[in-house]
Structure 1
Amino acid sequence: MPFSIDFLDDGRVLEWEATADGAVATERNDYTPRFYVAARDPASDLDLTTLQSVYDQHPDVVATEMVARRPGFRRDEETVLAVDVAHIDRVAPLARQARQLSAYPVGDLACFNVDFSREFRYYLETGADPTPASELSTLRLSVPVTETSNDVYGELSVAGDTVTGSPTNILTAVQGALEAHDPDVLVCSTSEIVPTLYEMATDAGVDDFSLSRRPDVDYQQLASRSTYSSYGRVGHSPARYNVPGRAIIDESNTFFYGETNLDGVLDLVSRSKKPVQELAWASIGNVLTAIQICEAHDRGVLVPWNSWRHEFYKQMGTLHDADRGGFIFAPEVGLHENVHELDFSSLYPNIICSRNVSPDVIRCDCHSDRDDVPGLGYSICDDCGYLVDVLQPIIDARDEIKAAIRRENQRDDPNEDRLAELEGRSGALKWILVACFGYQGFSNAKFGRIECHEAINAFAREILLTAKQRLEAGGWRVIHGIVDSIWVTPDPDVADGERESLESLAAEITDTVEIRLEYEAEYEWVAFVPQRESDAGALTKYFGKVAGEDEFKIRGIEARQRSTPEFIEDVQRDCLEIIGRTHSPDAVINRLKRAISELHAGDVDPDRLVERNRVSKPVEAYTQYTQNVAALERARDQDLAVHPGQDVEYVVVDDEKASRERVALAHEETDQYDPSYYETQLVRAVESIISPLGWDRSDIRRRLAKTRTTKITSF
């Protein structure tokens, strides 16, 4: 079970396996990556022998053969050309040459199994398991933000210990930690630590420095940094590096490690055949695709290089009906008491599995006369779709993990390490299940299909309407519902003795829709927040006090937003406590006044006023002088690189200025801030708390204006 793979220049491969006595390398010299070429049109009588003869003469091709494979889930086995390549880096260039090396018209040929990541391809084709057989050892290296753009580090944290001084001191500390821990995984605050340490060693004349487990190769750069846009949001992908014999986790470029932990990463490693290093930097969709590719591989289905699925023809009326999302009941703005929340367990994944929604069976030819999808008239084949086989094991595994978490928490002395492992695994699987629905509508998804996306939404709408009708018939009033969650309160027109219990109603609805409706929580009260410029309820902004618990559930308001400064969040949470005790806006205003007094008295630590915002473009591309621009200019003055898609952190010092003096970066020593600016932010946060009670920003300002300025000590 090798946890890491190294590809040598001559085509040999090193498999690194973790053992109780350290990592062991095994050399293989018989691995040849493979891609396939087939006719794009299944009805084509295309002859591939000419292309085969050309490839046979190519120096980068080891062998070719005609094999039987399925070029798609909706296609039977066909004769396709398999091309074995001398080195993994030559797969894509050789595939690109398929049309150049043949006389076939553009569009006649299609290439398959081309754009796999390196290690994933190896595990998929060889059948090796990337799940470590022994526990992986880790070593963390991190640098402060002020050092990230330096060619020479003056400070570096090694295994939690801060090392400063000359390059030789820092390199000696790193080398000593490597020898002491012999880590399988290097957890780096930024991947640039790797090349920077080697450059420092070269400049300082330290010849024996190495992060690698191979004396002949220090490190390799696998990809350069890049900026990308996804769904209108700009992101940044740092450069990626490989250190032979060790996996690298870049904390600035990892979703699953950041959202879960190493246990969550390893759970997905076992399901996706992506090793630790590749999975750490992979997106949710990338991992989901890998799991789907594994299923396709087991079924003998090839993976298209470029997606060319057409959308099935549909009438205008059907197109109109299909272009809708999940059902939403607009929330009743205000504060509601005795509220209960019910959630459908993994609704969209369970719809896929219980209704057999999959790209290979939706709108099948064999049942075209059936109307299986409500309101759309789509048929679904009786054959089990591949997507069901992908998701059902994940759903079942997460249910088992959640049950194990409940059992552990019920123990008198819960094992915290065991809980952390289970929570990490549950969180990782949750993200895969969250993404599986939306990925069906993603245009670049390898196996997605928009009709699946539409069918899932249609089933979800029907299910939520069914739940609403049965709950109301049982004596409950629905005050909000969105996609898979529904909030109810006792109907005042129904006598208590005539009202059915939520437990029995949830069980009945579960049996009816064949997806478990779970009783999520009881709240002493829940407040639904109105939209900023409207009396209508904001769909995802609410907060409530959990019954019998000293906790609040909050969604959408400032305390849940990543940009909110700590001080603003703390005040808003205090206001939550106050509104829960008193239901009085006046008491909340009193807390606001104290916070404003602290601000203007200069009693707030600037570190608690740091904002974090993502920049979307280079500083030169901005046309308005925003706070982000001021922060970017300050960063540039200090030779700190902040790329589009990365975060910038700062304190607003004087919001009236149109210069870089408007802000101070988070790492800069400052005792100044703009109290008027942060007062505005405070008022906005407090408005979120008392707006369900009919107060808006103007009401808050009027009440503040009527009160005289008082010293904070009087409170």
Structure 2
Amino acid sequence: MPFTIDFLDDGRILEWEATADGAVATEREDYTPRFYVGARDPGEDIDLTALQSVYDQHPDVVATEMVTQRPGFRRDEETVLAVDVVHVDRVTPLARQARQLSDYPVGNLACFNVDFSREFRYCLENGVDPTPASELSTLRLGVPVTETSNDVYGELSVAGETVTGSPTELLSVVQAALEAHDPDVLVCSTSEIVPTLYEMATAAGVDDFSLSRLPDVDYQQLASRSTYASYGRVGHSPARYNVPGRAIIDESNTFFYGETNLEGVLDLVSRSKKPVQELAWASIGNVLTAIQICEAHDRGVLVPWNSWRHEFYKSMATLHDADRGGFIFAPEVGFHENVHELDFSSLYPNIICTQNVSPDVIRCECHRDRDDVPGLGYAICDDRGYLVDVLQPIIDARDEIKAAIRRENERDDPDEERLAELEGRSGALKWILVACFGYQGFSNAKFGRIECHEAINAFAREILLTAKQRLEAGGWRVVHGIVDSIWVTPDPGVDNEDCEDLERVATDITEEVEIRLEHEAHYDWVAFVPQRESDAGALTKYFGKVAVDGGFKVRGIEARQRSTPPFIEAVQRECLEVLDETRSPDAVICQLKAAIASLHSGEVAPDQLVERNRVSKPLEGYTQNTQNVAALKRARDQELSVHPGQDIEYVVVDDQKSSRDRVALAHEEVEEYDPEYYETQLVRAVESILSPKGWDRTDIRRELADTTTRRLRDFC
């Protein structure tokens, strides 16, 4: 089973299999990728022979044939034109020419199985499982941020060791590490390490340097860097490179490796048929789509190039009822004692599987008079939907992995390496399950359908309302609920002995809704935070003291925000401990005063005040002199490339300035900072944990200034 497949510029295709004695390459000479052309709409009679004759004369086409395939899950088998191509890179250009090469009206033709990544396509069409048969060896190469824009590195991290010196010395160390480790996977802090090392070798006259396992091929560039926007956020995609015989994981462009580990990546490799290198740079939606494509392939269903699913007709009333989102029970702002958090296990994926919610069976014609979806009147066919077959194995696998984690933790001497492997696999599957619901409403999803998105929400609302009613009937008061979680505390109007056992109530709810309701945590207390400038509860901001281990769980506040400097986070967590011990805002203010004094006395190390923010546009695109602009100007002065979608790290030196001197970049030798600015950030962080007590910034500032406000009753 090959762990990577190389498509070389000379036309060779190599399958690389990891063995105990190193990687072995097998050359494949007879591979011809295939795409299909057919009618865009079902039942449309189109004669494809004219297009076939044109393709038969094309130099990049190996062969064509008329075959019967299902162009969609809701379509029966139809005659389509299969086109075999000389090289995987010619599939998209040839598909794009389908309309240009024919006289068919625009919109009548559709192409299928076009935009697959090349290694995934190879595995799918050849029935290849890219899961490594042996453990993969890895080697990490890294460069500090100050070196990333240099044509010649002066410092390099090789297998965890920092190396400095001349280009020849650095290249020699890298080559020695390659020979010693013979890695199957190169883990790079940035993909630009690959071309830069080769350029250094050329300039230094080092002719025998190579990262490749092939003596005659160095590296290939697979894609150029780009900037993109997704759900209102700007992202950056670095250039991608390929080194024959080795998979590359770019730490600056990998979600699953960064969020999990290599074991998590390999678990998804086995499910998606995307080899390690492709899966490492793929997004959650990309991997989920690959898993769905595998299921479609097994069912003989073609994959549309562009999504063109129309939304089913709905009355205005149905549209109103359908567009309601998930269940929300607004949190009661303040502190609550003896709180239990209950979560439905993988609620949305389990709704899909238990209710058979799938694009191919929702609002079917054969049961159109049925009202299967609560409140919407949608019918769901009795035939098993393909999405159920996609998700049920993932749900079952994650349940088994979580059970294995519990068993390992219950041992007297848990195997930490085993735990890390299980946690990585569980985390990877969690992200797929998290994305499966939202992807149904994504307009560019290959097989999504908005009616599925609406139906899942409708079932979820019904389930959460059922749970709320049963909990309240058992003597429990709901203090917050959102989507798949409910927080409850004993109802003060009910005697403790009259409260039903919570586990029994959860079991009853589980049996009724057919989705497991789990006890997530027991808190000594939980505080729900109000929205800023409002008394209403913030849906995702809370913190609490866990009853069993005595730790704190925080969500949404500064300690959980990626931009928060370490010092601010540490002070906020210290204030949480003080609040837990004393329940006194005054004691928290004393802690805050001490932190502010440390700031103004210069005792705080500048590296503890580093902020990390994402750049949303090029420097020239900004119209205001923000901190990001000042940081970008400093980066430009130092010839450091920071692209839209990437992060920039800095310390605020003087926030009153509007020039580049407002900040200092994190890697610079920072000798001073702006204590007034960071004091404001501290006050904001402390406000988050005192606001459930009714305190805001004005109250905190008043206490810091040792002033009081006299009230009328003080004189009575």
Normalising to structure 1: TM-score of the pair? 0.99
1:468-617 matched pairs, under 5 angstroms: 468-617=468-617
Partner Cα distance (1:181, 1:517) in 2? 47
1:278-317 matched pairs, under 5 angstroms: 278-317=278-317
Partner Cα distance (2:419, 2:549) in 1? 21
1:49-128 matched pairs, under 5 angstroms: 49-128=49-128
Aligned residues: 708
Asked if 2 retains the 8 angstrom alpha-carbon contact of 1:36 and 1:113, the reply is yes
CA drift of 1:43 comes to 1.5
Show the counterpart of 1:41. Answer: 41
1:450-469 matched pairs, under 5 angstroms: 450-469=450-469
Asked if 2 retains the 8 angstrom alpha-carbon contact of 1:92 and 1:115, the reply is yes
Show the counterpart of 2:711. Answer: none
Partner Cα distance (2:511, 2:631) in 1? 56
Q: 2:144 matched to 1:156?
A: no
Show the counterpart of 1:671. Answer: 671
Partner Cα distance (2:544, 2:42) in 1? 57
Show the counterpart of 1:639. Answer: 639
CA drift of 1:12 comes to 2.9
> 1:514-535 CA distances to partner (integer Å, 9 max, x unpaired)?
1000011110000000111100
Letter in 2 for 1:565: P
CA drift of 1:573 comes to 0.3
Letter in 2 for 1:387: L
CA drift of 1:42 comes to 1.6
Partner Cα distance (1:359, 1:449) in 2? 6
Which SS does the other structure have where 1:706 is aligned? coil
Q: 2:226 matched to 1:226?
A: yes
Partner Cα distance (2:179, 2:665) in 1? 37
> 1:595-622 CA distances to partner (integer Å, 9 max, x unpaired)?
0000000000000000000010011111
Show the counterpart of 1:711. Answer: none
Partner Cα distance (1:707, 1:5) in 2? 71
Consecutive unaligned residues in structure 2, runs of 5 or more? 709-716
Asked if 2 retains the 8 angstrom alpha-carbon contact of 1:333 and 1:537, the reply is yes
Q: 2:188 matched to 1:188?
A: yes
> 1:161-207 CA distances to partner (integer Å, 9 max, x unpaired)?
11111100000000000000000000000000000000000000101
> 1:74-99 CA distances to partner (integer Å, 9 max, x unpaired)?
00011111101011110001101111
CA drift of 1:222 comes to 0.3
Asked if 2 retains the 8 angstrom alpha-carbon contact of 1:12 and 1:30, the reply is no
Letter in 2 for 1:492: P
Letter in 2 for 1:593: K
Letter in 1 for 2:161: D
Partner Cα distance (2:122, 2:707) in 1? 71
Which SS does the other structure have where 1:549 is aligned? coil
Which SS does the other structure have where 2:63 is aligned? strand
CA drift of 1:498 comes to 1.6
Partner Cα distance (1:666, 1:481) in 2? 40
Shifted more, 393-402 versus 208-217: the winner is 208-217
Show the counterpart of 2:367. Answer: 367
1:172-211 matched pairs, under 5 angstroms: 172-211=172-211
1:11-30 matched pairs, under 5 angstroms: 11-30=11-30
> 1:42-66 CA distances to partner (integer Å, 9 max, x unpaired)?
2111011111111111111111111
Shifted more, 487-496 versus 272-281: the winner is 487-496
CA drift of 1:10 comes to 4.5
Shifted more, 40-49 versus 314-323: the winner is 40-49
CA drift of 1:11 comes to 3.4
Show the counterpart of 1:133. Answer: 133
Show the counterpart of 1:397. Answer: 397
Partner Cα distance (1:110, 1:441) in 2? 22
Which SS does the other structure have where 1:559 is aligned? helix
Asked if 2 retains the 8 angstrom alpha-carbon contact of 1:130 and 1:269, the reply is yes
1:302-381 matched pairs, under 5 angstroms: 302-381=302-381
Letter in 2 for 1:555: R
Letter in 2 for 1:486: I
CA drift of 1:41 comes to 1.8
Letter in 1 for 2:446: K
Partner Cα distance (1:10, 1:673) in 2? 56
Show the counterpart of 2:441. Answer: 441
Partner Cα distance (2:190, 2:479) in 1? 46
Which SS does the other structure have where 1:679 is aligned? helix
Partner Cα distance (2:59, 2:670) in 1? 63
CA drift of 1:670 comes to 1.3
CA drift of 1:512 comes to 0.5
Partner Cα distance (1:464, 1:450) in 2? 21
Partner Cα distance (1:613, 1:344) in 2? 34
Show the counterpart of 1:168. Answer: 168
Which SS does the other structure have where 1:521 is aligned? strand
Which SS does the other structure have where 1:461 is aligned? helix
Letter in 2 for 1:308: W
Partner Cα distance (2:41, 2:678) in 1? 63
Partner Cα distance (1:631, 1:520) in 2? 42
Consecutive unaligned residues in structure 1, runs of 5 or more? 709-715
Show the counterpart of 1:263. Answer: 263
Which SS does the other structure have where 1:2 is aligned? coil
Letter in 1 for 2:302: L
Asked if 2 retains the 8 angstrom alpha-carbon contact of 1:528 and 1:541, the reply is yes
Partner Cα distance (2:497, 2:678) in 1? 52
Which SS does the other structure have where 2:3 is aligned? strand
CA drift of 1:28 comes to 0.8
Which SS does the other structure have where 1:183 is aligned? coil
Which SS does the other structure have where 1:441 is aligned? coil
Asked if 2 retains the 8 angstrom alpha-carbon contact of 1:12 and 1:31, the reply is no
> 1:335-356 CA distances to partner (integer Å, 9 max, x unpaired)?
0000001000000000000000
> 1:475-513 CA distances to partner (integer Å, 9 max, x unpaired)?
000000000000000011111222111100000000100
> 1:370-397 CA distances to partner (integer Å, 9 max, x unpaired)?
0000010000000000000000000000
Show the counterpart of 1:712. Answer: none
Partner Cα distance (1:472, 1:319) in 2? 31
Partner Cα distance (2:567, 2:375) in 1? 50
CA drift of 1:8 comes to 2.6
Normalising to structure 2: TM-score of the pair? 0.98
Partner Cα distance (1:279, 1:643) in 2? 23
Letter in 2 for 1:100: Q
CA drift of 1:707 comes to 7.2
- Structure 1 runs of 4+ with >2 Å offset: 8-12
Shifted more, 497-506 versus 430-439: the winner is 497-506
Partner Cα distance (2:675, 2:290) in 1? 50
CA drift of 1:548 comes to 2.5
Partner Cα distance (1:492, 1:682) in 2? 36
CA drift of 1:101 comes to 1.1
> 1:118-177 CA distances to partner (integer Å, 9 max, x unpaired)?
100000000011000000000000000000000000000000111111100000000000
Partner Cα distance (2:541, 2:638) in 1? 39
Show the counterpart of 1:713. Answer: none
Partner Cα distance (1:186, 1:149) in 2? 20
Letter in 2 for 1:684: R
Letter in 1 for 2:116: F
Partner Cα distance (1:507, 1:673) in 2? 55
Asked if 2 retains the 8 angstrom alpha-carbon contact of 1:11 and 1:86, the reply is no
Letter in 1 for 2:33: P
